[in-house]
Amino acid sequence: VTRAVWQSAESESPDADVMAFLAGEDVVMDRALFVHDIRATRAHVGGLMRIGVLNANDARALEAGLDALADEHAKGTFVLDARFEDGHSAIEAYLTAKLGDAGKRVHTGRSRNDQVLAALRSFARASLETLTATTLAIARALLARVDAIGSAPMPGYTHLQRAVPSTVGYWLAGLAESFVDDAELARATWSWLDASPLGTAAGYGVNLPLDRDGVARDLGLSRLVLNGVAAQNARGKAELAALNALGAALLDLRRFAWDLSLFTTEEFAFVRLPDALTTGSSLMPNKRNPDVVELMRAAYPRCAGAQVEIASVLSLPSGYHRDLQATKAPFVDAMTKGLAALALGPLVVRGVTINAEKMRAAINADMYATDRAVEAAAAGTPFREAYRAIKSDVGNASGRTPEESLAARVSPGAHAAPRTEELRARLDALASVLATNGN
Ligand code: ARG
């Protein structure tokens, strides 16, 4: 175990049990933040050099040391573990071991309090970029299926009861639109977090003319969190916003997964999942189970639980409190697991096979009743009268086909006027934003 960064004498050593309690799982969670912490430290070094607190030689050496650490961490030759109190201390310990005095200068003008905020924000924003890209990829995969097989009729359900004729395309385009909403929310949240907390130190600034704006620019952030108290008070709140965006996407993933698990039952048999996306039973030789989509459906609870856990920690007065460390594990864990579930989305969308005959056969004559009532109303019969007349005769829809019903569904957004190009425009706009800045 290395000495804690704040320790100057052996007598200050906390008991090993106490040290383990303080670090907890935190140092392991810091593995997810480590590259972000290193990146922010590199920016901080540049800032210190620009104000003359670090000379150019030390700054160059520190930058090279940080690059080497990032490299060793990626390769697994540097392991962040309980030898260190946290990732922040590990960076300083590594640089000091490698560079001596230069390493001991790296923490000038900052605190672990703003260091952890900078690392968390960078992790959150990188995660939100992945979330935006993944939800767009799911939407795109869905729209590709719409183009290929979208016109196949299927029942539209309300209350899981057959309602009116619809199409496979309408179902899948509906999910695509939801995922585009999710991508926009992820992007908006990314923008909302576009501010640098680095240089607020322990929460009250420092007696140095830190180049906070230059450091922010190096980190790709467009403005500062000005006030150090605001920076500390945003801890946890920023995480909640990021998890809210993740949760929105996971709710939609759950809907889709639910639809698939339902439609793959023999009772429906509307869709089939390929063997690569199902598992066998250990006991029942006849089974193929949709475990993959079931675990996708189960991805949301981790996110919801993390939001509750984080919000529970935040009952605190202003400023930094070590309690805040307890927001890290639920955040990192929920974000990592949630993104992993979403990452399989495009594969599932592409893998589903559609049984168009089964779907079509599930559309019965009763389902034209709404068309007939609305037609009569459009021709002048008061709607309620038309409704009653058709209700006593719902099965009598001779000669009607799903295609005719769908061709007449001209209300904006409905089957005959889906205006899918508007959805594609939103998708493309977001994709080009991702391609041009920040990926
Ligand atoms: N691991 C700590 C956290 O996540 C880092 C900050 C420690 N700061 C302190 N003043 N003890 O909050």
Query: Does residue 281 have an active-site annotation?
Result: yes
Give the side-chain half-sphere CA count within 13 A for 392.
5
Ligand 1, residues 34, 37, 113: which to mutate, most atoms within 8 A of Cβ? 113
| CB 271 within 8 Å of CB 258 | no
- DSSP assignment string, 101-114: HHHHHTTTT--HHH
Centre of ligand 1 to C-alpha 116, Å, is 7
pLDDT above 60: residue 282: yes
Residue range 197-223: average pLDDT? 98
Ligand 1, residues 22, 80, 116, 328: which to mutate, most atoms within 8 A of Cβ? 116
pLDDT above 60: residue 112: yes
Q: Is the CB of 107 within 6 Å of ligand 1? A: no
Centre of ligand 1 to C-alpha 8, Å, is 18
Q: Is the CB of 159 within 6 Å of ligand 1? A: no
Q: Is the CB of 44 within 6 Å of ligand 1? A: no
Alpha helices in 157-209 (DSSP H): 168-192
Which pLDDT value is given to residue 195? 98
| CB 123 within 8 Å of CB 36 | yes
- DSSP assignment string, 265-293: STTT--EE--GGG-EE-SS-TT-EE-HHH
Query: Does residue 318 have an active-site annotation?
Result: no
Distance CA 275, CA 351 (A): 9
Task: Exactly one of 191, 222, 281, 411 is catalytic; name it.
Answer: 281
Residue range 178-202: average pLDDT? 98
Q: How many residues are given for the chain?
A: 439
pLDDT above 60: residue 298: yes
What is the number of the ligand 1 atom nearest to the C-alpha of 88?
Answer: 5
Which pLDDT value is given to residue 42? 98
**What's the pLDDT band for 82 if we cut at 50, 70, 90?**
confident
**What's the pLDDT band for 18 if we cut at 50, 70, 90?**
confident
Centre of ligand 1 to C-alpha 231, Å, is 14
Question: What one-letter code names the amino acid at 182?
Answer: D
Average model confidence (pLDDT) for the chain? 95
Q: What is the pLDDT of residues 348-396, one digit of tens each?
A: 999 999 999 999 999 999 999 999 999 999 999 999 999 999 999 999 9
Q: What is the pLDDT of residues 224-255, one digit of tens each?
A: 999 999 999 999 999 999 999 999 999 999 99
Residue nearest to atom 12 of ligand 1 (CA): 325
Residue range 299-305: average pLDDT? 98
Q: What is the pLDDT of residues 133-149, one digit of tens each?
A: 999 999 999 999 999 99
Residue nearest to atom 11 of ligand 1 (CA): 322
Tokens of 55: 């000379």
Centre of ligand 1 to C-alpha 290, Å, is 43
Query: What is the biggest distance separating any 2 CA atoms in the chain, rounded to whole angstroms?
Result: 93
Q: How far apart are the first and last CA of the chain?
A: 37
Residue nearest to atom 7 of ligand 1 (CA): 112
Q: Is the CB of 328 within 6 Å of ligand 1? A: yes
H or E segment at 162? strand 161-167
Q: What is the pLDDT of residues 388-432, one digit of tens each?
A: 999 999 999 889 999 999 999 999 999 999 999 999 999 999 999
Residue range 178-196: average pLDDT? 98
What is the number of the ligand 1 atom nearest to the C-alpha of 328?
Answer: 4
Q: Is the CB of 112 within 6 Å of ligand 1? A: yes
